[in-house]
Amino acid sequence: MKTTIELPDDLLIDAKATAAKRRTTLKAIMEHALRREIYGMKKAPPDAPFVLNEYGFPILKRDPNDPKITSEEIEQIKEQIDQEDAERAYHPQRKKG
């Protein structure tokens, strides 16, 4: 549904800048803000492996003593998984190990 609203210039400018920074649309920003205002921020269950940030996105919990993982290591893991998936696709009878 389309509607027209009037906003203060500074709020509209900040909203557009936020949308650009997040690489999303003004419509998405406004929809998210309205849903959060109307329905409230949901919290993750206490036993969940994640918490919700201020935008409602899940962030994995991690022990500060755990070693940090780099983007390069994540890419290596993804490539390894892709390779294993391809092996299973080409040779479904072979077993790991």
22 touches 14 (CB < 8 A): no
Q: Which two tokens stand for residue 80?
A: 């390894």
C-alpha closest to that of 39 among 18, 56, 60:
56
pLDDT per residue as tens, the chain (97 positions): 889 999 999 999 999 999 999 899 999 999 888 887 877 666 777 788 888 887 777 888 888 888 888 889 888 988 898 888 888 888 767 655 5
Give residues with Cβ within 8 angstroms of 50, minimum separation 6. Answer: 44, 58, 59, 60, 61
- Packing angle of the helix pair 26-39, 9-21 (nearest 10 deg): 100
